[in-house]
């Protein structure tokens, strides 16, 4: 029984790791931005975002710094089993046959893998761990909200420089035009 629970804990940790590894890739495909996901503890400062990289920080209390992550604590204890799992175990006592995850009947063991996968997805969906996808989306929205304002400021600066350039060019042409008739007249 301990080995089965340890295996379940390992599968849960593996699925959590794969989830965190897949989130930045999905975010990069959508927006084209690089995303740096950082967990900071206590009053530690969050690294600043750069122009080509979004930095998303999840803040946790200082006492969590050197602890085992909360989703992995006590996962193999019988007390950590939910009532739903206990009731479902009683409901499936008589189940046998294909996809039943039981040692009875033809292909009875074939459903065990699917049950593990379903449990992993359910725990990931209902988990209280950091949801980087939501943090990334919030940071992206914050960044997009300032783009229009900064683009307008940039446009004004460019137009001001263009006006100054054209005024300088016109002044040079006027000076050249004023100097040209003076050179063309004979000296007296």
CA-to-CA distance for 99 and 128, rounded, in angstroms?
30
Burial 38-75, CB ≥16 within 10 A → b, else e: eeeeeeeeeeebeeeebebbbebeeeeeeeeeebeeeb
Nearest-CA neighbor of 101 among 3, 4, 2?
A: 4
Question: Based on the structure, what is the number of domains in the chain?
Answer: 1
For the chain, the average pLDDT equals 75
Q: Which residues are registered as beta bridge partners of 7?
A: none
In a domain, 120, yes or no: no
Range of the domain at 45: 2-80+131-155
| pLDDT for position 68 | 84
In a domain, 76, yes or no: yes
In a domain, 136, yes or no: yes
User: How much is the pTM?
Assistant: 0.33
In a domain, 75, yes or no: yes
Residues of the chain with pLDDT under 70: 1-31, 75-76, 80, 89-99, 102-105, 107-109, 128-130, 181-188
Contact 54, 33 (CB under 8 A): yes
In a domain, 99, yes or no: no
CA-to-CA distance for 69 and 80, rounded, in angstroms?
15
In a domain, 31, yes or no: yes
177 CB neighbour count, 10 Å cutoff: 9
CA-to-CA distance for 165 and 92, rounded, in angstroms?
81
78-126 pLDDT, tens per residue?
776 777 877 776 666 666 666 677 666 676 667 788 888 888 888 777 7
| pLDDT for position 72 | 76
């Amino acid at each position: 029984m301990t080995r089965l629970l340890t295996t379940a804990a390992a599968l849960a940790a593996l699925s959590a790791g794969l989830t965190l590894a897949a989130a930045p890739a999905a975010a990069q495909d959508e927006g084209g931005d690089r995303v740096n996901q950082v967990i900071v503890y206590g009053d530690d400062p969050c690294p600043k975002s750069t122009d080509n990289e979004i930095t998303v920080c999840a803040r946790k209390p200082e006492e969590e710094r050197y602890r085992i992550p909360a989703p992995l604590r006590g996962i193999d204890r019988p007390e950590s089993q939910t009532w739903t799992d206990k009731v479902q175990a009683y409901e499936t006592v008589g189940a046998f046959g294909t996809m039943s995850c039981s040692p009875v009947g033809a292909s009875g063991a074939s459903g065990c893998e699917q049950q593990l996968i379903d449990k992993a997805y359910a725990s990931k969906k209902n988990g209280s761990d950091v949801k980087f996808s939501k943090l990334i989306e919030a940071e992206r929205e914050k960044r997009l909200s300032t783009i229009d304002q900064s683009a307008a400021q940039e446009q004004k600066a460019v137009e001001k420089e263009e006006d100054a350039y054209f005024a300088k060019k016109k002044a040079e042409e006027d000076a050249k035009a004023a100097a040209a008739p003076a050179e063309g007249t004979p000296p007296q």
